[in-house]
């Protein structure tokens, strides 16, 4: 719900009922991944998206119906050859969408999740999207040291779900968990199995741009557009100013390596580091540290000659092949970029490809699904183990427009 947080918080604060439709599973080619959400208020206002347009109208009507009935449901949408006008994904993928009505103050787990969106407190929300009828729609919200909500008479299952959700919160992951009634992991074929969709609400990932140059202003802007919390750092106060970097969340005057040393508790496996200083006295001490940290991406600007000189200095500093091969240098994809804005697009494209496992080739030159399955390489969501991603696979669950087996209102 992070994408629709502002509207949902306002509805909740005003005591207005609403419904949230969330993508909980994706197979094949689909425009949006697990966690994408569309919310509809009781008076018909809609925010967000689950498919980029393919099935929005149908999901909107499901939300309206859920508000009226007060019942949660799980719906599957896929491409229909028999009826080209049926609500489906013309890109050939399959989406499972969970629709849950919300009455402010009636569900402690949902209330806690919405409060976390306002406060920024890390929280994971686990909701039963399939399983015994009396369980579907129930949820647990966990923080680092407690949990809200519950699963009624399923005490062992509740403890297991809370533990799983807390583990996923630690790593910022979103995905499905399938458990038996005793809380033990299982497949989803048993009559008593329950499927939970866990969403981790954590602060946005960080992008730290080192070097207060013109290219940095453009990279900071596109980083903000991609949803990063952007910091620009440079040791030169005359260049590192808020006026020059209006799109950055923070502008810091400090030596890059020294600033990085102060941020070790605020960076994680989602953090992106863009080194644009193009000056060895800044670059080498910084990269010597950065390439040893468990961050997602480290890129450095410079010519190929600069890269070779930089690599030699890093080896002299004690870095080996494992660390140096992590460095994306020269930074960005080969787009023929010239301007700072074009260069920023090049850098952003490489970051997205690295995160999502893209080939960096033109789509017209490749075959297969356009959208990589979430979790396959670098995605934030996790596909259920053993579930074929290809809807044409003989073991793939059948596509139908309607309620999924095991998920009843």
| Alpha carbons 199 and 127: distance in angstroms, whole number | 9
The share of the chain scoring above pLDDT 90, in percent, equals 56
Q: What is the pLDDT of residues 153-185, one digit of tens each?
A: 889 999 999 999 988 887 778 889 999 888 888
Of residues 367 and 293, which shows the higher confidence score? 293
Q: Which of 113-122, 183-192, 318-327 has the highest mean pLDDT?
A: 318-327
pLDDT at 269 over 90: no
- The pLDDT confidence band at residue 188, using thresholds 50, 70 and 90, is low
Q: What is the pLDDT of residues 23-37, one digit of tens each?
A: 998 876 666 778 889
Q: What is the pLDDT of residues 46-74, one digit of tens each?
A: 999 887 776 889 999 999 999 999 999 99
Residue partners of 325: CB distance under 8 A and separation at least 6: none
Q: What average pLDDT does this structure show over 296-316?
A: 93
Q: What average pLDDT does this structure show over 200-204?
A: 84
Task: Report the range of poorest mean pLDDT among 62-66, 83-87, 296-300, 393-397.
Answer: 393-397
| Alpha carbons 289 and 300: distance in angstroms, whole number | 13
Residue partners of 322: CB distance under 8 A and separation at least 6: none
pLDDT at 390 over 90: no
| Cα–Cα separations (whole angstroms), residue 208 to 46, 94, 233, 329, 348 | 34, 36, 7, 16, 13
Q: What is the pLDDT of residues 74-124, one digit of tens each?
A: 998 876 544 434 555 555 578 899 999 999 999 999 999 998 887 878 899
Q: What does pLDDT average to over the chain?
A: 83
């Amino acid at each position: 719900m992070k994408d629709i947080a502002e509207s949902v918080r306002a509805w909740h604060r005003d005591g207005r009922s609403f419904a949230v439709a969330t993508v909980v599973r994706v197979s094949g080619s689909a425009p949006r991944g697990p966690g994408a959400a569309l919310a509809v208020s009781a008076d018909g206002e809609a925010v967000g998206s689950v498919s980029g347009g393919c099935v929005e109208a149908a999901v909107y009507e499901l939300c309206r119906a859920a508000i009226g009935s007060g019942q949660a449901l799980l719906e599957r949408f896929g491409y229909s050859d028999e009826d080209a006008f049926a609500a489906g994904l013309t890109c050939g993928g399959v989406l499972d969408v969970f629709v849950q009505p919300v009455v402010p103050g009636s569900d402690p787990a949902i209330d806690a999740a919405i409060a976390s969106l306002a406060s920024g407190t890390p929280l994971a929300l686990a909701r039963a999207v399939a399983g015994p009828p009396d369980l579907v729609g129930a949820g647990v919200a966990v923080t680092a040291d407690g949990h809200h909500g519950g699963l009624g008479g399923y005490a062992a299952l509740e403890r297991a779900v809370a533990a799983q959700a807390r583990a996923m919160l630690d790593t910022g992951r979103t995905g499905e968990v399938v458990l038996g009634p005793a809380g033990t992991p299982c497949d989803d074929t048993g009559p008593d199995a329950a499927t939970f969709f866990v969403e981790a609400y954590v602060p946005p990932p960080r992008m730290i741009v080192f070097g207060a140059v013109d290219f940095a202003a453009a990279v900071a802007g596109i980083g903000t557009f991609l949803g990063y919390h952007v910091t620009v750092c440079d040791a030169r106060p005359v260049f590192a100013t808020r006026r020059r970097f209006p799109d950055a969340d923070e502008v810091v005057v400090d030596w890059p390596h020294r600033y990085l040393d102060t941020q070790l508790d605020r960076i994680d496996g989602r953090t992106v580091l863009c080194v644009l200083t193009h000056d060895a006295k800044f670059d080498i001490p910084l990269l010597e540290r950065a390439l040893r940290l468990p961050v997602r991406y480290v890129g450095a600007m410079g010519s190929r000659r600069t890269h070779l000189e930089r690599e030699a200095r890093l080896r002299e500093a004690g870095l080996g092949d494992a660390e140096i091969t992590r460095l994306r240098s020269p930074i960005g994809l080969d787009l023929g970029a010239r301007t700072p804005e074009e260069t920023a697009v090049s850098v952003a494209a490489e970051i997205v490809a690295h995160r999502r496992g893209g080939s960096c080739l033109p789509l017209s030159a490749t075959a297969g699904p356009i959208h990589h399955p979430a979790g396959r390489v670098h995605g934030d969501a996790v596909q259920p183990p053993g579930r074929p991603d290809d809807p044409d696979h003989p073991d793939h669950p059948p596509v139908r427009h309607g309620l999924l087996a095991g998920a009843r209102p």
